[in-house]
Amino acid sequence: MISDRVQEPGKILIEVIYKADYCLLCLYMDQTVRGVMEKYADCADYHKVEFMYGDGKQRFLELSYALYGKINVHKHCRVAPIPSLFIDGELVFDAIPPIFELEDAIEEAIGKKAGTGA
């Protein structure tokens, strides 16, 4: 399922930090993830975090805080890489991954989620 950050219970959440369609790296990262989502529709949700708009701004800050801490974000302008891919709030890729690496990361996250009973 491709959602607006609605994560169903038991599913992992894949998020891509996305600037705009004119950012080719962002566009290709999004297309790469969308290309594998059908295979994982039963166990993963996808959200494109468009940090230039609406709720995307807040989520971008939340993910940046998780990476670097609030002080480093505000005082030193440390923010999440653009584009980047997070799974369940953890940075997994800061560049467009090859499909096999993306699938491996998704399967590993699914295995962890299943192992915790969440």
User: The domain spanning residue 67 has which CATH number?
Assistant: 3.40.30.10
18 within some domain: yes
48 within some domain: yes
pTM above 0.85, yes or no: yes
Which range marks the domain in which residue 105 is found?
A: 12-109
CA–CA separation, 89 vs 66, rounded Å? 8
Helices (H), the chain: 24-37, 54-68, 70-76, 99-116
91 within some domain: yes
The 3-state DSSP class for residue 95 equals coil
| Mean of pLDDT over the chain | 91
Residue range 44-53, pLDDT digits in tens:
999 999 999 9
Model pLDDT, residue 6: 57
31 within some domain: yes
Residue range 34-76, pLDDT digits in tens:
999 999 999 999 999 999 999 999 999 999 999 999 999 999 9
- The structural domain count of the chain equals 1
118 within some domain: no
22 within some domain: yes
81 within some domain: yes
56 within some domain: yes
